[in-house]
Structure 1
């Protein structure tokens, strides 16, 4: 699938904007292949296209059975600072947690929602890391934690923003930064601080996204790198006999 990864990501972006317009159900009814497992994963939520793509990549590149790839309610995991959290995707094999992923979007009302997204991401990722450290997933290996966001790309999101600094100056990298800059910096810092093992940052808007167009402004946060890191981790921990028997 990696030879067609741009097209696959494009399809996921297009599904997001079709769902935003209420067209996803009509699109899926016209696709004869949307049966069985795919129809379960594509439940009509805006970021479901990415959940489906991640599942397809895992099944193809690791040979893990799709039954071990959980979504939404079935991807609920315990936390340390709270009792539980519903992740978007979790890979659970033989009672061991291999990965937990979150897919987010950022569109309208960016000013208020961006702070919420930041607090949510830091909190969730800190929580699952601490839960692992305290043995809540024992005997699991350290789970691969991923954060992927599709953000609106327009004049409002690209406009430099002033900061409120009544007491102390903000970090230099936030000075004059746009909302897009802030989100990119969040993803990059979570990755470099190892709060996550993979971060994906994509930009699009409704005008071009409905045709599947998007861009990736930072190579470190590209979807392909994100996906390859996840696959490498799962392959590194999946027993050989599980690979051999996963499709039997």
Structure 2
């Protein structure tokens, strides 16, 4: 059966428009209320910035054989048991016939503080995956095939995310590929290695300028971490699980 990628590029452009549009709307609302958040926080507190990408992922799931699966988006039903902590809150969970089919994280970052946020996102992504797979090994979800575990990141395309970055490591050298790498390049390397080390089934990073609120234009950094790889891998996993579960 051919996979249905649901015209993902068009829907991704719409998701980019939603991302920047919701951030701008949140900022305007804060200003109108007379209690504006400082810096970029005003664009984050709405909690709706990645809704367009959520919609795309749900379309992929429903179009590839699991139209009747439980697709959870509400906070009250997004927790999974952990191993190093009691529970972890995810952004999207897919459950079918009592089995965990997919767990997905959607993250974003805009300037100007790319450095601190990159480190926080990296530590969070690694820790989250390690916790889930250890819980899976200990049969926290029962005996079942490995679920799809995905990580999708949207990063602002800006001078601060593209410029070379220096690192200080006085005792031992950093890996060569990180030397002078921009934060966008570092996110690309992070996503590649999250998959290579089997922490995530697939991990993607896309980037867009603020002006994309009008056009929806976005860019990918490599084929391995591109959006097509993410949606195709998810569609394949969903189709396989749909066939297995009947």
**TM superposition score normalised by structure 2:** 0.85
2:73 pairs with one of 66, 71, 74: 71
Kindly indicate whether the alpha-carbon contact (under 8 Å) linking 1:80 and 1:128 is maintained by their aligned counterparts in 2.
yes
Shift of 1:141: 1.5
Paired position in structure 1 for 2:53: 50
Unaligned 5+ runs, structure 1: 27-42, 243-248
Kindly indicate whether the alpha-carbon contact (under 8 Å) linking 1:12 and 1:47 is maintained by their aligned counterparts in 2.
yes
Residue pairs, 1:20-169, within 5 angstroms: 20-22=23-25, 45-65=48-68, 68-73=70-75, 74-108=77-111, 109-169=113-173
Paired position in structure 1 for 2:41: none
CA distance in 1, matches of 2:184, 2:225: 13
Aligned residues: 224
CA distance in 2, matches of 1:100, 1:149: 15
Shift of 1:75: 2.0
Kindly indicate whether the alpha-carbon contact (under 8 Å) linking 1:62 and 1:231 is maintained by their aligned counterparts in 2.
no
Deviations for 1:120-155, whole angstroms, at most 9, x for unmatched residues? 000001111111111101122211100000111111
Cα RMSD after superposing both structures: 2.1
Unaligned 5+ runs, structure 2: 30-45
Shift of 1:224: 1.9
Shift of 1:102: 0.3
Paired position in structure 1 for 2:42: none
Task: Flag as ranges the 4+ runs of structure 1 deviating above 3 A.
Answer: 239-242
Deviations for 1:17-40, whole angstroms, at most 9, x for unmatched residues? 01110179x9xxxxxxxxxxxxxx
Kindly indicate whether the alpha-carbon contact (under 8 Å) linking 1:104 and 1:149 is maintained by their aligned counterparts in 2.
yes
Shift of 1:238: 2.6
Task: Provide closer, same or farther for how the CA distance between residues 171 and 44 of structure 1 changes in structure 2, counting only shifts above 3 A.
Answer: closer
Q: What secondary structure does 1:221 align onto? A: coil
CA distance in 2, matches of 1:134, 1:116: 27
